[in-house]
Structure 1
Amino acid sequence: MGELYVGLMSGTSVDCIDAVLVDFSEENSPRPHILATLGHPIPGALRDAILALCAPGPSELDRAGQLDSQLGRLFAEATLALLERAGITPEQVTAIGSHGQTVRHRPPGTVAHPFTMQLGDPNTIATLSGIATVADFRRRDMALGGQGAPLMPAFHRAAFATAENDRAVVNIGGMANITELRADGGIRGYDTGPGNALLDYWIGLHRSQPFDRDGAWAASGRANPELLNRLMADPYFSAPPPKSTGREAFNATWLERACEGLELAPADVQATLAEVTAASIADAVRSFANGGELLICGGGARNSDLMQRLQRRLPTWSIASTGDYGIEADWLEAVGFAWLARQTMRGLPGNCPGVTGAARETVLGGIYPA
């Protein structure tokens, strides 16, 4: 068996743990080979605890400590279930790359002492899985003055860059981010703003559904121009990169304030939120280049209404899933953290200073032996 790594990712949507088993043994291939995948469920009570901790509240330290332990066990459980599905033993795996669950992200420019916090104790993961675990990827970049996000651009460059034309890779998870891959080798990336998080929140509030399948509910409504203008007036959208964001900025309170004084049908609010996601992504793409190939990954790639809104705003761009380029959209980020773990185990840098604003390239994360 080849050079095997596990990648674990739980994003701002908090819908499940994405777990992938990846083979990196083909040195001449720009893309790793996915051997197995697993969407491991996050119990409802645990998801509620995660979302509650994303905003300030009482007993945060106690809640965070317990959640760190619980998530470490859940990530280990996901790893072992993945390996059982693949028929692979822990001894055959070099390392796990675990992003952890972000519960607070305060990058430079938002607080006097920037920090980021991902939960899911890597000591627990390594002990229960029997596999060395690489985790805490973001804080070394922040120690060097960077945003600590986004972290996927270095992997996107390794997997998708081409000298033939400009490409942009856009991940639409709870938040959305872009990686600009210039044909001349230049690279830039940043968070564009909300992705699915507010769409999921709004349909959950009004229809008790976890997400808007295919964007059908958004497609049934009409975007409200005044609400769209209010939301797009947020200074984050016009701020220059490097920049990163999360639920700290784009949340229910943010939406409710913008809706004040307006009489809006719930479906129209959903349509407006879809337009905010599409407009903020499209503005970022247009600021990069006038045309090229746009590769979409994350849960938003399966939202046909959102894809149509993007295509209408970007008529000169060819838009496709990263699956059409060799790595399925649902698993790209988890594969990326397997790749980052491999970089760390090899003593190689995993950040892009031109993306995050860090002072220099650096090895990311810590290694927790089994």
Structure 2
Amino acid sequence: MSHVIASAAQRTLFIGLMSGTSLDGVDGVLVDFAHGTQVLAHASSGFDEELRTELLALNTPDGHNELHRALLAANALVRCYARVVRQLLQQSGLPASKIAAIGAHGQTVRHRPQLFDGTGYTLQLNAPALLAELTGITVVADLRSRDVAAGGQGAPLVPAFHQGVFGRTEQTTLVLNIGGIANLSVLGADGSVLGFDSGPGNALMDGWCLEHTRKPYDEGGRWAAYGQLIPELLDSMLAEPFLNLPPPKSTGRDLFHAQWLTQQLQALHNTPAPADVQTTLTEFTAASCADAVKRFGRDGKELLVCGGGALNSYLMQRMAALLPGVHVTTTAARGLPPLEVEAAAFAWLAHQCLQGLPGNLASVTGASGPRILGAIYPA
């Protein structure tokens, strides 16, 4: 470890940046790990329509100058990251020199950790060298590929962080992150941790909402609450084989994309009203999440929800209705607002990397063992 990195590792202030499969923008937090996990500042920046459209397009192979477009999109993404970093420093009144490192996740455009020939890969667009230049702060990036190289899913990586922040010794705690994809952490009272992607989160709902209302998401689930459930469509979507796979498992837009939904709709006997499709997509997310809790949540009586889905009150109501006996609330009840959790987890992963400590849990990802995650780009 170089002198620069050794010096950074002694500091306790880290920034975490997260842009997820929802493709709505960047969330960033400034965290102090001196005594537990203390979020000092939170900032966000939405993607402009051009960048969002390009990132969405790059999720689907089209063969049209993809490498050039991907690298340009990565540079644009990192400039958005840098804006969030500047906001965090301005809010906190701290200079860049006080920050040990930035944990920068990047934007996932391919995630296929298990292919038929036994190999796999995960790809996040990022330009960490440019981010280090723009901010003057050490950057830790490429946080998933080492776990995949060790035979793991590369996701979810947040359960280890969830255990440290939300785990209790007197009861099993359940943490559900609903971003574009939903993932569940089962934090046992005995210290055991199980985590996996349960299925779609906001990705299908947001895409349908944008297509039919020109709004990026269904605020509060109000449009979904207006429509009527389509049982035939719901049953068809719930028959997706991924949902019944045992953990470890992870997924993304490689599976749950617009074409997947189009195939489901084409099998219907009648053309449904757009609002009814939105209602059914919301129920699909609620039902797949609730099923994961019922199958793997053991004796958990509390479900803490984070991510953008936690702000969808109709979705939260539907999950509560499907999980009688489970108290469904948000992570704010435990002191960490829903939109800060995942970014804080990537700050924690950067902290683990600089300390030379593992960031993955083999019980979650299926990797052959604990691994130090991330590549370091010194300031």
In terms of mean alpha carbon deviation, does 216-225 or 349-358 score higher?
Answer: 216-225
- The alpha-carbon deviation at position 331 of structure 1 amounts to 0.8
- The alpha-carbon deviation at position 109 of structure 1 amounts to 4.0
Partner SS, residue 165 of structure 1: coil
C-alpha contact (below 8 Å) 2:17/2:27 kept by paired residues: yes
- The alpha-carbon deviation at position 110 of structure 1 amounts to 6.0
For residues 252 and 66 of structure 2, what CA distance do their matches in structure 1 show? 18
Per-residue deviation, residues 112-139 of structure 1 (Å, max 9, x unmatched): 5311111121101111100000010000
For residues 256 and 199 of structure 2, what CA distance do their matches in structure 1 show? 8
Match 1:34 to one of 29, 34, 39? 39
Per-residue deviation, residues 304-327 of structure 1 (Å, max 9, x unmatched): 110111011101111111011111
Match 1:192 to one of 198, 201, 212? 198
Pairs within 5 Å for 1:125-164: 125-164=131-170
Partner SS, residue 40 of structure 1: strand
- The alpha-carbon deviation at position 142 of structure 1 amounts to 0.5
Pairs within 5 Å for 1:297-336: 297-336=306-345
What is residue 43 of structure 1 aligned with on the other side? 48
C-alpha contact (below 8 Å) 1:290/1:316 kept by paired residues: no
C-alpha contact (below 8 Å) 2:204/2:257 kept by paired residues: yes
For residues 305 and 55 of structure 1, what CA distance do their matches in structure 2 show? 30
- The alpha-carbon deviation at position 291 of structure 1 amounts to 4.1
Partner SS, residue 151 of structure 2: coil
Match 2:281 to one of 246, 250, 273? 273
Partner SS, residue 364 of structure 1: coil
What is residue 7 of structure 2 aligned with on the other side? none
- The alpha-carbon deviation at position 74 of structure 1 amounts to 2.3
- The alpha-carbon deviation at position 293 of structure 1 amounts to 1.0
Is 1:105 the counterpart of 2:105? The answer is: no
Pairs within 5 Å for 1:227-266: 227-260=233-266, 261-263=268-270, 264-266=272-274
Pairs within 5 Å for 1:212-231: 212-231=218-237
C-alpha contact (below 8 Å) 2:171/2:300 kept by paired residues: no
Partner SS, residue 184 of structure 1: coil
- The alpha-carbon deviation at position 287 of structure 1 amounts to 1.0
Match 1:286 to one of 275, 290, 294? 294
Equivalences, count: 365
Per-residue deviation, residues 148-191 of structure 1 (Å, max 9, x unmatched): 00000110011111111111100001110001111121111110
What is residue 171 of structure 1 aligned with on the other side? 177
C-alpha contact (below 8 Å) 1:296/1:329 kept by paired residues: yes
- The alpha-carbon deviation at position 251 of structure 1 amounts to 0.9
- The alpha-carbon deviation at position 262 of structure 1 amounts to 3.1
For residues 165 and 250 of structure 1, what CA distance do their matches in structure 2 show? 33
In terms of mean alpha carbon deviation, does 158-167 or 105-114 score higher?
Answer: 105-114
**Structure 1 alignment gaps of length 5 or more:** none
Aligned-pair RMSD on alpha carbons? 1.2
TM-score by length of 2: 0.94
Partner SS, residue 131 of structure 1: coil
What is residue 69 of structure 1 aligned with on the other side? 75
C-alpha contact (below 8 Å) 2:174/2:300 kept by paired residues: no
- Partner amino acid for 1:42? F
For residues 262 and 4 of structure 1, what CA distance do their matches in structure 2 show? 57
For residues 209 and 121 of structure 1, what CA distance do their matches in structure 2 show? 29
For residues 361 and 44 of structure 2, what CA distance do their matches in structure 1 show? 29
Partner SS, residue 209 of structure 1: coil
Identity of aligned residues (%): 49
Moved over 6 A (4+): none
Partner SS, residue 61 of structure 1: helix
C-alpha contact (below 8 Å) 2:105/2:143 kept by paired residues: yes
Change (3 A) 1:287 1:151: same
Per-residue deviation, residues 265-286 of structure 1 (Å, max 9, x unmatched): 1111111101110111011101
- The alpha-carbon deviation at position 24 of structure 1 amounts to 1.2
**Structure 2 alignment gaps of length 5 or more:** 1-10
What is residue 84 of structure 2 aligned with on the other side? 78
- Partner amino acid for 1:193? G
- The alpha-carbon deviation at position 203 of structure 1 amounts to 1.1
Partner SS, residue 175 of structure 2: strand
Is 1:365 the counterpart of 2:370? The answer is: no
For residues 368 and 185 of structure 2, what CA distance do their matches in structure 1 show? 19
